[in-house]
Amino acid sequence: MSFFNSLGRSMGRKGVPTTPTAPVPNGKSLQTANAAAQSSESSRKKDEVAVYAPPAQPKLFLSSPFCDAALVKGSLKTLVALPKYIDVMEWVALNMFDFYNNVNTFYGAIAERCTSKNCPTMTAGDQLVYTWVDANHKHVKLPAATYIDFVFTWIQNLLEDQSIFPTKAGLPFPPGFPATCKHMYRQLLRVFAHIYQAHFEDMLNLRIEPHLNSLFAHYLSFGAEFDVLDKKELKGSPSSPTGIGYLYDKWKDMGRLD
């Protein structure tokens, strides 16, 4: 199911934050975001997503038994599929809320290890560092903890905004809701990427890697089901691939994401 095709992408509401900016995210209008989403969707249809060769020395999360650890065995399709009689917007909103809280909880478990000394940049691969777009539209390198704090603050503000995530009966979802969710998904994906790249050993020490793997597999399956997962964002580029891109390929080969 395509979340965007089901709900449309046009007529975005201006002034609603979609791309976070520091220190308090303001972002682009949903109209601009929807246009960008359409362009991205078109590009994905034209270009095949590259499959990159795994690193010579794979990370622990790419090695057995750690990449095999999971609480959920078998297909995740039934877990992410839209339930009968449930509105697709309600379902996506509920899941984005849950994913945000779960990712926040996992990061909280290792937050004391994510210091400016240990993580001076928001790494997601051996050659990949995410930058933050500030209020002047400049790309700024930030410590990972600062970057992630900005992400969580931005998403929390969106979730508390009744004009974007309505919780009262009779309040409609905005036309640009799919684009907003896609931006939220992208930023949470980056948090996952950093956790795996820089803190998987911390997860092992806490013995919660099966929980993390299960949550991330659920996240990937949901993103694919509702068309909010951008494969190019997931995998990075040939010169700067993401670690989680390799994990995605490995899980696909194992049939975990089918």
Is 49's pLDDT higher than 50?
no
Chain segment 86-125, per-residue pLDDT in tens: 999 999 999 999 999 999 999 999 999 999 999 999 999 8
Confidence band, pLDDT 50/70/90 cuts, at residue 76 = confident
Q: Is residue 127 in some structural domain?
A: yes
Q: Is residue 150 in some structural domain?
A: yes
Chain segment 179-221, per-residue pLDDT in tens: 999 999 999 999 999 999 999 999 999 999 999 999 999 999 9
Q: Is residue 173 in some structural domain?
A: yes
Q: What is the mean pLDDT of the segment spanning 13-35?
A: 38
Confidence band, pLDDT 50/70/90 cuts, at residue 42 = very low
Q: What is the CATH number of the domain that holds 141?
A: 1.20.140.30
Please enumerate, by residue number, every residue annotated as part of a binding site.
114, 119, 194, 199
Q: Is residue 19 in some structural domain?
A: no
* Range of the structural domain that residue 132 is part of: 3-7+59-254
Residue 147: predicted pLDDT: 97
Percent with pLDDT over 90 in the chain: 58
Residue 55: predicted pLDDT: 53
Total domains in the chain come to 1
Q: Is residue 212 in some structural domain?
A: yes
Query: What pTM does this model have?
Result: 0.80
Q: Is residue 76 in some structural domain?
A: yes
Q: What is the mean pLDDT of the segment spanning 58-73?
A: 84
Residue 34: predicted pLDDT: 39
Q: Is residue 40 in some structural domain?
A: no
The contacts found for 59-68 with CB under 8 angstroms, 24 or more apart, are 59/196, 59/197, 59/200, 59/243, 60/200, 60/201, 60/204, 61/196, 61/200, 61/209, 61/243, 61/247, 62/243, 62/246, 62/247, 62/250, 66/200, 66/204, 66/209, 67/213, 67/247, 67/250, 67/251, 68/254
Please enumerate, by residue number, every residue annotated as part of a binding site for Zn(2+).
114, 119, 194, 199
Q: Is residue 52 in some structural domain?
A: no
